[in-house]
């Protein structure tokens, strides 16, 4: 018995070693190389989607991990479902280090936020990627997507290639990845030559290699080198013809089909009020933010125009940033730290600007979502404790160069950008054509616009004449005594009143809105901009806020018309002031009541303070702990949580399998499954038990000849055992598992909880195959019959 048991033990040890650390064969390495090459070529299509090449590193690591997981599962001969489970575990285990290293503990270990992102992004990240204006942040959370694609494609392709003899099947997976990357990409191709020709060449080479493996033909008349030369020549000829004639084939002049053009961005700018409506609070008479610091600006000289909000649509009631041509705010896209230049972007030299938000600006509900900028930004980053939240909620309109943050600014937030300033108009300015607002919206000013244009020969000269007429008016914010009839607003009714008085009187709101409407009425595209004229020193206060107009030139780019071009000075008061009402001298002059109660009032009697000091709660005590304790808890707690989840998941899997073994099948099968459970427990303890051995051969390795004999008697004996006997056998198996656990070292007892050997063991004996008509616990017992066992074939 000892000699016969020694042979399978050595063989099992060798098999176990190869199953866990099996060295890949030459064919394994060749297939892995082709999988990595095709996967990297397919993922390179994201070059125009991300602003840094780190996406390729994340995708490449995903491919490498997928190949490794598939190799282990294939070597262990595991089912596809087990491979899928291993891929999921690998995704969460390495996701923090590969794609979210900035949020992981030490750049490697995943914490709660990393795990949350790894759960959410595979579901919602695709929509976020498609609704973000490219190029997206190459160091942000969207790196999870190429990592996930690489992991899934690497594991699927390699496992298919090593498990199937078909030549074409595995190659189709990288082709599907290439199509997916193109659909998720941009209209601009990433690399036509590399992706088109390179991918095709490598795919055909892999097909040829796999096809040659499947052939077993001798005497073909040519060696490997000759066949490779002929194939390379034919492939080169085909690629050359395709390169020469591909551009003239039908359909090549149509744009690429990408999902980005069919996905509607979820952000709606119309949910935020137009800041131009509340312009009066910036005036001196309103006494709100006239002298308060809104933000501090560095990087631009004094007198520069800093745009707060670009308003390009007029509804007849208000100027807003909706964009009439695009619908309800659908031109605002999510962006990363790098913003791709648009066709409307000015050609001026970019400036590096830093804006630090003050408490006054953060307190303005209608303004704190608008990002101040000198023009069209190409980079946009945030500093401060809320930087991540601001970056996540940033939306950008490439047509106007306007960015907004849905989270809203708070005092101390800092914006850093590199932007191309919008140039101001000059005497040689040539206007564009085509109004930006509907003709119905500008009807109210059409007659006055034609009259004030004075039949000048060019549109720009006509607008200069209109601006001169507007500048001859007076300024009033409606807050001074005798000027309360000059109301705020710039709707149709307010504009009609503004133009219908003998003298034009208003503030920036009325003058800028009227000038923009008249420009559109004369056929010149115009929009209203609300912002600040940066003073010397860069500290912007309410007094520095103005509204001006931007006109589109013949080159398609926008130019600013400063407010001083069409607005009177602020100290130019209206000529016709209403007559002040004389106060009745006989009326009693009753002083207002004192808002402050004098000392000794009745309130002081009840203003008492409790002498009992409330002890701090447990939450307050925890909040007072030093920060390093929370960091230590994260470093230690999250790995322990992951280990607990792994141990709990494995224990649950073993428990469910044990429950199934106890309840499924005939009584003899349920009893025999108890022995299998005992043997799998021994495997988990590190005892090598090769597959294919009989129960008596098992005894030489794991002991308990009594349990093995009772299982053999139940399987090969007469009739079926009673339910009581099955339950008693399982109770003895439980006691045997405990005794076996105590007999091994502590290291093995701890390692048992993490072992997969028992769960992955495949040792189904023919006599124990589950019949189609299954008997379960509680079913009516069958009559005792003589069962005919299926004998094992004797080994040589």
Ranges of each domain in the chain:
12-213+230-241, 276-421, 443-525+549-563, 631-768
Query: What local confidence, expressed as pLDDT, does residue 781 receive?
Result: 42
Q: 590-631 pLDDT, tens per residue?
A: 455 444 444 444 343 334 444 445 577 777 676 677 776 777
Residues 165 and 183: their CA atoms lie apart, in Å, by 30
The contacts of residue 499 (CB under 8 Å, 6+ apart) are 444, 445, 448, 514
Query: What local confidence, expressed as pLDDT, does residue 329 receive?
Result: 43
Query: What local confidence, expressed as pLDDT, does residue 599 receive?
Result: 45
Helix or strand (DSSP H, E) at 561: strand 558-561
Q: 643-661 pLDDT, tens per residue?
A: 788 888 888 888 898 988 8
Query: What local confidence, expressed as pLDDT, does residue 475 receive?
Result: 94
Residues 176 and 174: their CA atoms lie apart, in Å, by 5
Query: What local confidence, expressed as pLDDT, does residue 301 receive?
Result: 93
Q: 20-52 pLDDT, tens per residue?
A: 446 788 888 999 999 999 999 999 988 888 888
* Average pLDDT of span 419-448: 89
- Structure-derived torsion over alpha carbons of residues 380, 383, 386, 392, reported in degrees to the nearest 10: 20
Residues 498 and 476: their CA atoms lie apart, in Å, by 12
- b/e per residue 250-276 (b: at least 16 CB within 10 A): eeeeeeeebebeeeebebebeebebbb
In degrees, to the nearest 5, what angle opens at C-alpha 367 toward C-alphas 518 and 312? Answer: 30
Residue among 307, 311, 289 at smallest CA distance from 361:
289
Of the listed ranges 213-227, 523-537, 764-778, the one predicted with least confidence: 764-778
Of the listed ranges 79-88, 307-316, 533-542, the one predicted with least confidence: 79-88
What's the gap between Cα 624 and its chain centre? 34
Mean pLDDT of the chain: 81
Residue among 400, 381, 377 at smallest CA distance from 390:
381
Answer positive or negative: Cα dihedral of 776, 778, 780, 781: positive
Q: 133-162 pLDDT, tens per residue?
A: 788 888 888 899 999 999 999 999 999 999
Query: What local confidence, expressed as pLDDT, does residue 613 receive?
Result: 53
Query: What local confidence, expressed as pLDDT, does residue 208 receive?
Result: 83
* Average pLDDT of span 289-311: 94
Query: What local confidence, expressed as pLDDT, does residue 85 receive?
Result: 87
- Confidence label for 509 from pLDDT (cuts 50, 70 and 90): very high
Residues 486 and 507: their CA atoms lie apart, in Å, by 9
Residue 279 clears pLDDT 90, i.e. is over it: yes
The contacts of residue 668 (CB under 8 Å, 6+ apart) are 714, 715, 720, 721, 787
Of the listed ranges 50-64, 322-336, 425-439, the one predicted with least confidence: 322-336
The tally of CA atoms less than 13 A away on the side-chain side of residue 773 is 4
What is the token pair recorded at 279? 């312009």
- Confidence label for 196 from pLDDT (cuts 50, 70 and 90): confident
Q: What angle separates helix 2-21 from helix 695-702, to the nearest 10 degrees?
A: 80
Residue 771 clears pLDDT 50, i.e. is over it: no
Residues 577 and 345: their CA atoms lie apart, in Å, by 45
Residue spans of beta strands (DSSP E) within 290-409: 293-298, 305-311, 313-314, 319-320, 333-334, 351-357, 375-383, 394-397, 402-405
- Which of 16-25, 90-99, 256-265, 530-539 has the largest mean confidence? 530-539
Query: What local confidence, expressed as pLDDT, does residue 585 receive?
Result: 44
- Confidence label for 697 from pLDDT (cuts 50, 70 and 90): confident
Q: 85-136 pLDDT, tens per residue?
A: 889 999 999 998 898 888 787 778 888 888 888 888 898 888 888 878 788 8
Residues 67 and 33: their CA atoms lie apart, in Å, by 10
Query: What local confidence, expressed as pLDDT, does residue 255 receive?
Result: 65
Residue 762: phi and psi, rounded to 5, are -125, 95
Answer positive or negative: Cα dihedral of 284, 287, 288, 290: positive
Residue among 566, 538, 539 at smallest CA distance from 550:
566
Query: What local confidence, expressed as pLDDT, does residue 796 receive?
Result: 33
In degrees, to the nearest 5, what angle opens at C-alpha 121 toward C-alphas 116 and 126? Answer: 170
| Beta-bridge mates of residue 475 | 506
**With contact defined as beta carbons under 8 Å apart, do 423 and 559 qualify?**
yes
Residue among 414, 368, 363 at smallest CA distance from 387:
414
Q: What percent of the chain has pLDDT over 90?
A: 36
């Amino acid at each position: 018995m000892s000699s016969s048991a020694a042979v399978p033990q050595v063989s099992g040890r060798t098999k176990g070693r190869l199953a866990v650390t099996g060295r890949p064969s030459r064919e394994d390495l060749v297939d892995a190389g082709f999988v990595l090459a095709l996967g990297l070529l397919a993922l390179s299509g994201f070059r125009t989607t991300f602003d840094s090449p780190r996406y390729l590193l994340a995708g490449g690591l995903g491919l490498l991990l997928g190949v490794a997981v598939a190799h282990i599962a294939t070597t262990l001969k595991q089912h596809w479902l087990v491979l899928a489970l291993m891929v999921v575990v690998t995704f969460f285990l390495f996701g923090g280090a590969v794609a979210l290293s900035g949020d992981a503990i030490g750049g490697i270990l995943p914490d709660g936020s990393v795990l949350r992102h790894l759960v959410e992004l595979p579901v919602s990240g695709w929509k976020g990627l498609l609704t973000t204006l490219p190029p997206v942040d190459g160091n942000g959370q969207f790196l999870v997507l190429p990592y996930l694609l690489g992991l899934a494609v690497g594991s699927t392709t390699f496992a298919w290639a090593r498990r199937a003899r078909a030549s074409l099947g595995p190659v189709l997976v990288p082709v599907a990845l290439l199509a997916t990357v193109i659909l998720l990409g941009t209209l601009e191709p990433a690399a036509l030559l590399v992706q088109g020709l390179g991918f095709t060449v490598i795919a055909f080479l892999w097909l040829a290699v796999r096809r040659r493996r499947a052939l077993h033909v001798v005497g073909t008349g040519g060696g490997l080198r000759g066949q490779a030369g002929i194939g390379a020549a034919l492939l080169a000829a085909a690629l050359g013809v395709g390169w020469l004639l591909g551009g003239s084939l039908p359909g090549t002049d149509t744009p690429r089909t990408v999902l980005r053009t069919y996905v509607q961005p979820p952000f709606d700018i119309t949910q935020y009020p137009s800041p131009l409506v509340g312009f009066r609070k910036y005036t001196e008479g309103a006494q709100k933010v006239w002298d308060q610091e809104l933000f501090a600006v560095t990087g631009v000289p004094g007198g520069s125009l800093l745009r707060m909000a670009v308003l390009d649509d007029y509804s007849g009631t208000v100027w807003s940033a909706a964009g009439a041509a695009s619908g309800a705010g659908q031109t605002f896209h999510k962006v990363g730290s790098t913003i791709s230049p648009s066709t409307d972007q000015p050609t001026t030299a970019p400036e590096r600007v830093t804006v630090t938000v003050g408490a006054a600006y953060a307190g303005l509900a209608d303004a704190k979502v608008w990002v101040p900028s000198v023009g069209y930004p190409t980079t946009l980053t945030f500093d401060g404790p809320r930087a991540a939240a601001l970056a996540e909620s940033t939306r950008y309109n490439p047509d106007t160069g306007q960015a907004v943050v849905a989270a809203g600014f708070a005092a101390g937030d800092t914006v850093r950008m590199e932007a191309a300033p919008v140039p101001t108009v000059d005497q040689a300015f040539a206007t564009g054509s085509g109004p930006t607002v509907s003709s119905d919206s500008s009807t109210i000013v059409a007659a006055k616009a034609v009259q004030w244009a004075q039949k000048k020969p060019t549109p720009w000269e006509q607008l200069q004449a209109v601006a001169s007429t507007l500048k001859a008016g007076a300024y009033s914010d409606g807050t001074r005594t005798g000027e309360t009839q000059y109301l705020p607003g710039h709707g149709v009714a307010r504009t009609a009143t503004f133009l219908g008085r003998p003298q034009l009187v208003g503030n920036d709101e009325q003058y800028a809105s009227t000038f923009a409407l008249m420009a559109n009425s004369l056929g010149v595209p115009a929009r209203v901009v609300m912002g600040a004229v940066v003073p010397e020193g860069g500290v912007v206060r309410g007094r520095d806020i103005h509204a001006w107009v931007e006109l589109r030139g013949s080159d398609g780019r926008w130019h600013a018309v400063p407010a001083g071009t069409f607005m009177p000075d602020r100290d130019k008061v209206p000529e016709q002031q209403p007559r002040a009402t004389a106060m009745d001298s006989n009326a009693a002059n009753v002083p207002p009541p004192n808002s402050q109660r004098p000392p000794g009032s009745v309130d002081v009697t009840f203003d008492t303070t409790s002498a009992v000091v409330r002890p701090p709660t447990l939450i307050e005590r925890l909040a007072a702990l030093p920060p390093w304790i929370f960091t230590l808890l994260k470093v230690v707690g999250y790995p322990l949580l992951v280990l607990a989840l792994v141990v709990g998941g494995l224990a649950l899997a073993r428990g469910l399998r044990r429950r199934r073994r106890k309840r499924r099948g005939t009584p003899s099968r349920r009893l025999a499954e108890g022995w299998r459970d005992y043997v799998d427990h021994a495997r988990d303890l590190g005892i090598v038990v090769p597959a294919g051995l009989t129960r008596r051969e098992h005894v030489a390795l794991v002991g308990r000849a009594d349990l093995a004999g009772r299982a053999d008697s139940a399987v090969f004996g007469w009739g079926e055992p009673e339910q009581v006997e099955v339950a008693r056998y399982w109770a003895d198996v439980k006691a045997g598992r405990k005794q076996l656990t105590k007999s091994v070292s502590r290291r093995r007892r701890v390692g048992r909880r993490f072992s997969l050997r028992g769960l992955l063991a495949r040792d189904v004996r023919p006599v124990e195959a589950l019949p189609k008509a299954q008997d379960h616990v509680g079913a009516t017992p069958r009559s005792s019959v003589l069962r005919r066992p299926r004998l094992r074939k004797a080994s040589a």
